[in-house]
Amino acid sequence: MSSTDKRKVTAEDIENLLEVFKQSGWDEMHLQTGDLEIFLSNDPTAQGPRAATAPAAAAAPLAAPAATGAAVAPVVISAAGPSGHAPIPAGHVAIKAPNLGTFYRAPKPGAAPYVEIGQQIETSTEVCLIEVMKLFTPVQGGVKGIVREIRARDGQMVEFDEVLIVVEPN
Amino acid sequence: MPIRRVLSINRGEIAARVVQAAHALGIEAVQAVSQADRDSRAAQLADRVVVIGPPPSRQSYLDAQLLVHTALQTGCDALHPGYGFLSEREHLARLCAEHGITFIGPAAETIAALGDKLQAKAIAEAAGVPLVPGTAQLAQAEDAVAAAVSLGYPVLIKASAGGGGRGMFIARSREDVLGGFDKASNEAREAFGDGTMYMERYVENARHVEVQVFGDGTGKVIHFGERDCSIQRRYQKVFEEAPCAAMPDALRAQLHRSAVDLVSSLKYRNAGTVEFLYDVDRQAIYFIEVNARIQVEHPVSEQVTGHDLVRLQFEIAAGEPLRWTQDQIPVKRHAIEVRLNAEDPYRQFQPSPGRITRWVPPQGAGIRLDSHCYEGYLVPPYYDSMVGKLIVTAHDRESCVIRLQEALARFEVEGLITNLPLLRFIASHPDFVANQLNTRWLEQVLLPAFEATRE
User: What is the C-alpha to C-alpha distance for residues A81 and A60, in angstroms, rounded to an integer?
Assistant: 27
Residues of A in contact with B48 (CB under 8 A): 78, 80
User: What is the C-alpha to C-alpha distance for residues B322 and A110, in angstroms, rounded to an integer?
Assistant: 51
CA B207 to each of CA A116, B78, B236, B359: distance values in angstroms, whole numbers, following the listed order: 67, 37, 14, 33
B116, B121, B127, B129 alpha-carbon torsion, rounded to 10°:
140
Q: What is the pLDDT of residue A79?
A: 39
User: What is the C-alpha to C-alpha distance for residues B307 and B313, in angstroms, rounded to an integer?
Assistant: 11
Residues of A in contact with B394 (CB under 8 A): 27
Residues of A in contact with B368 (CB under 8 A): 45, 59-60
Q: For residues B316 and B214, is the Cβ–Cβ distance under 8 A?
A: yes
Q: Does A48 touch chain B (CB under 8 A)?
A: no
Q: Does A70 touch chain B (CB under 8 A)?
A: no
Which of B23, B69, B372 is closest, CB to CB, to A73?
Answer: B23
> Helix (H, G, I), strand (E, B), or coil: what is residue B435?
coil
Band (pLDDT 50/70/90 cuts) for residue B168 is confident
For B100, counting Cβ atoms within 10 Å of its Cβ (0-12 exposed, 13-18 middle, 19+ buried), the class is exposed
Q: What is the pLDDT of residue B15?
A: 98
Which of B51-65, B70-84, B164-178 has the weakest average pLDDT?
B164-178
Terminal-to-terminal C-alpha distance of chain A: 76
**Residue of chain B whose Cα is closest to the Cα of A54:** B363
Percentage of chain B surpassing pLDDT 70? 99
pLDDT for residue B436 is more than 60: yes
Q: What ipTM did this prediction achieve? A: 0.77
User: What is the C-alpha to C-alpha distance for residues B155 and B358, in angstroms, rounded to an integer?
Assistant: 51
Contact between B308 and A161 using a beta-carbon 8 Å cutoff? no
pLDDT for residue B220 is more than 90: yes
SS3 letters across A56-116: CCCCCCCCCCCCCCCCCCCCCCCCCCHHHCCCCCCCCEEEECCCCEEEECCCCCCCCCCCC
Select the more confidently predicted residue: B191 or B89: B89
Mean pLDDT of B374-386: 93
**What integer best gives the mean pLDDT of chain B?**
95
Instruction: Report, as residue numbers or ranges, the catalytic residues of B.
Output: 293
Q: For residues B170 and B179, is the Cβ–Cβ distance under 8 A?
A: no
Q: For residues B85 and B61, is the Cβ–Cβ distance under 8 A?
A: yes
Which of B54, B306, B311 is closest, CB to CB, to A65?
Answer: B306
Distance from CA of A26 to the nearest CA of B (A): 10
For B58, counting Cβ atoms within 10 Å of its Cβ (0-12 exposed, 13-18 middle, 19+ buried), the class is exposed
Q: What does the pLDDT look like over B100-110, one tens digit per residue?
A: 999 999 999 99
**Residue of chain B whose Cα is closest to the Cα of A27:** B365
CA B25 to each of CA A64, B28, B68, B146: distance values in angstroms, whole numbers, following the listed order: 11, 9, 23, 60
Which of B50, B305, B359 is closest, CB to CB, to A100?
Answer: B50
Q: What is the pLDDT of residue A40?
A: 81
The dihedrals phi and psi of B124, each to the nearest 5 degrees, come to: -60, -45
CA B440 to each of CA B79, B326, B444, B452: distance values in angstroms, whole numbers, following the listed order: 37, 33, 6, 18
Q: Does A61 touch chain B (CB under 8 A)?
A: yes
Contact between B366 and A27 using a beta-carbon 8 Å cutoff? yes
Select the more confidently predicted residue: B447 or A51: B447
Residues of B in contact with A45 (CB under 8 A): 302-303, 306, 308, 368, 393
Domains of chain A (ranges; CATH) run 11-61 (no CATH), 93-169 (2.40.50.100)
pTM, full prediction: 0.84
Q: pLDDT tens per residue, chain A (170 residues)?
A: 444 455 677 888 888 888 888 777 777 788 887 777 888 877 666 666 654 333 334 333 333 333 333 333 333 333 344 444 689 999 999 999 999 999 999 999 999 999 999 999 999 999 999 999 999 999 999 999 999 999 999 999 999 999 999 999 99
Which of A58, A60, A133 is closest, CB to CB, to B69?
Answer: A133
Residues of A in contact with B364 (CB under 8 A): 50
| Residue B450, H or E segment | helix B447-452
Mean pLDDT of B14-33: 98
User: What is the C-alpha to C-alpha distance for residues B148 and B178, in angstroms, rounded to an integer?
Assistant: 11
Q: For residues B242 and B209, is the Cβ–Cβ distance under 8 A?
A: no
Q: What does the pLDDT look like over B46-67, one tens digit per residue?
A: 999 999 999 999 999 999 999 9
Distance from CA of B46 to the nearest CA of A (A): 6
Contact between B393 and A60 using a beta-carbon 8 Å cutoff? no
Mean pLDDT of B309-332: 95
Q: What does the pLDDT look like over A27-72, one tens digit per residue?
A: 778 888 777 788 887 766 666 665 433 333 433 333 333 333 333 3
User: What is the C-alpha to C-alpha distance for residues A132 and A129, in angstroms, rounded to an integer?
Assistant: 10
pLDDT for residue B433 is more than 70: yes
Select the more confidently predicted residue: A66 or B401: B401
Q: For residues B275 and B337, is the Cβ–Cβ distance under 8 A?
A: no
Enumerate residues 6+ apart whose C-beta is below 8 A from A21. A29, A40
Q: Does A87 touch chain B (CB under 8 A)?
A: no
Which of A44, A50, A102 is closest, CB to CB, to B363?
Answer: A50
Mean pLDDT of B326-332: 94
User: What is the C-alpha to C-alpha distance for residues B77 and B6, in angstroms, rounded to an integer?
Assistant: 6
**Residue of chain B whose Cα is closest to the Cα of A96:** B53
